[in-house]
Amino acid sequence: MKFFTYTSAFLALCSRLVVHGAHSQTTSASAAQISAGYHVIYSYSGTTPPDQLTELIKKGAIGGILLFGENVSPSLPSQVTQWQSVYRSSSAYAGSPLLIMTDQEGGQVRRLPGGPSLSEKEIGASANPVQAATSAGQQAASALRTYANNVNLAPVGGVYRQSGNFLDQYGRSYSNQSSITSECISAFIKSQQSNGDVLATAKHFPGLGSAKAGQDTDAKPVTINTSLDELRSIDEKPFQSAIQADVDLIMPSWALYPALDAKFPSGLSRKWVTDELRDRLGFEGVIITDAIEAGGLNAFGANDSHRSILAIQAGQDSILVGARNVEQGWQIVQDLAIASINGSINAQEWSQSTQRILSLRSKITI
């Protein structure tokens, strides 16, 4: 008897926990969380997306999903279509889809099956680089569309300095000449954006071309000592071409460039993001971070919400949350929502930033 009493009490407790859990998952998001959600791109691990992701889409506390090779399975396209349909019935839905993105650069850096088969380096070295980059843009658009993705986190705008350096070792730089990199990045962007309605992202502003082999901002802090003159006359040129080609997004790098800001890496730097990229170069599109948990930001602590607030304060619009853990994205949304209410984030800039994201999304037809 005692056993049964215990069991039923235990079951009652379990069902309370389950009800409570289910309740907290379906509770609607606050208005501030919905606003913050537009700014946060989530990721998850493996081929079976967690239910929590669908719950957050229902609540509207999410702006998009970053996909990795490990997420790819034959059912991924229909999964994405299903998420978009769940999102359309959420209270956050403002007439445009979630951003679904991946790194489909070409060569060795391709998360989805399909092209571009040539690396940036092979394109830059080919007989007709502009034609090859145009074809690569078409191939990227086609691969992304097959998987219902609407944003490519490519192309790379770095102008490499030494063979075998950080970008060159994987063939990720079109050329060691700024003019060729500029032509190629521009051709890729125009081709991908017009042939597939897939938005392009020029990265990593102001360029990782002089990062040496092993200077990987994903792993650790990286300092690039190039002078401001050289950064502007060589490294920034491809980004200016990208802006002229109407690139939709730009991703700042996580490297520190003391020539303009000795304290904050480009992506956390008001001087780089707002003064240089927005004001000096006149970029009006969406600025998206590189992965927020990157080791490159270790000097700023391990708290991803803190890092995200710094990125927004610098002038970035979207936060890429790449540790493949849905809870990581949800925590950031909740903390950005608080920061947007308590004055840590400038209210006027925040609402302009949200508008930029929504207007970017309104261009998407997939």
Residue type (1 letter), 206: P
Site for ligand NAG contains 85 (CB under 6 A): no
Asked whether position 134 contacts ligand NAG by CB under 6 A, the answer is no
Q: Which stretch binds ligand NAG (CB under 6 A): 98-106, 189-197, 275-283, 304-312?
A: 304-312
286 three-class SS = strand
Stretch that binds ligand NAG, among 46-54, 245-253, 279-287, 303-311 (CB under 6 A): 303-311
Question: In angstroms, rounded to a whole number, what is the distance separating the alpha carbons of residues 271 and 320?
Answer: 21
Q: Hey, what are 322's tokens?
A: 């790449």
- The least distance separating ligand NAG from the CB of residue 181, rounded to whole angstroms, comes to 11
338 binds ligand NAG (CB under 6 A): yes
SS3 of 316, please? coil
Report the alpha-carbon distance of residue 239 to residue 53 in Å, rounded: 34
- Applying CB under 6 A, which part among 16-24, 47-55, 339-347, 358-366 lies near ligand NAG? 339-347
Judged by CB under 6 A, the stretch of 64-72, 84-92, 187-195, 335-343 that binds ligand NAG is: 335-343
Max CA separation in the chain (angstroms): 85
Asked if 168 touches ligand NAG (CB under 6 A), the answer is no
How many other β-carbons are positioned within 10 Å of the β-carbon of residue 2? 6
Residue closer to ligand NAG (CB basis): 225 or 362: 225
d(CA 92, CA 290): 25
Cβ neighbours of 116 (radius 10 Å): 29
Strand-pairing partners, residue 99, are 64
Minimum CB separation from ligand NAG for residue 319, in Å? 13
344 binds ligand NAG (CB under 6 A): yes
Residues that bind ligand NAG (CB under 6 A): 176, 223, 225, 303, 305-306, 309, 335, 338-339, 342, 344
